[in-house]
Amino acid sequence: MADRHPTRVLISREQLDTRVAEMARQIRADYPGNLHIVAVLKGAFMFMSDLVRNMEGSVSMDFMAVSSYAKGTTSSGEVRLVKDLDTALDGRDVLIVEDIVDTGLTLTYLQEILRARNPRTLRTACLLSKPSRRKVDVGVEYVGFTIEDHFVVGYGLDYAEQFRNLPYIGVIES
């Protein structure tokens, strides 16, 4: 298991750059004022950093960490809050930045706990979505790429904590 590695590039560095810049422009057009970004660690760190580098104006950031997968490529279905936010969300325009929506369980949990903190608006941006794997219907306003049912790594996403550093999205064959 541990010696599995990506065998092909699914989304290149250039495709990521172009699409992330496009998403940033769209989000900024929808939210021209203060935007508060909540990035979900660890998977969203690279996406978030490229996204905000493409945004001008007032953007603040906070981080939370959840654990949804133990190790390997199958979901446990359990979501645990590992690190909470440092600041309150009341009255703010909040954008959740997530790496990938798979079953949708993690995002549903996150949206529920963040909505309970009374933000003015709450939207979600995900780099990747695997709709064929969805177990719960969850709303995502901004999706970078819709992909087939592959286990992917790179650009922040891991397999057993490896490959987050790859500058592209690669596929791990099962």
Residues in contact with ligand IMP by CB under 6 A are 43, 68-69, 75, 98-107, 151-153, 157
Phi then psi for residue 52, to 5 deg, are: -70, -25
Query: Within its chain, how far is the Cα of 108 from the centroid?
Result: 13
Smallest distance, Å, CB 8 to ligand IMP? 14
Q: Which is nearer to ligand IMP, 54 or 67 (CB)?
A: 67
Q: Which helix (H) or strand (E) holds 41?
A: strand 35-41
Amino acid identity, position 115:
R
Q: Which is nearer to ligand IMP, 83 or 120 (CB)?
A: 83
Select from 18, 30, 29, 28 the least CA-distant residue to 127.
18
Smallest distance, Å, CB 52 to ligand IMP? 19
Smallest distance, Å, CB 18 to ligand IMP? 21
What residues are labeled active site? 102
Our CA angle for 130, 116, 132, nearest 5°, is 10
Q: Spell out the residues 6+ positions from residue 65 whose beta carbon is closer than 8 angstroms to its own.
A: 40, 41, 42, 81, 82, 83
Smallest distance, Å, CB 64 to ligand IMP? 12
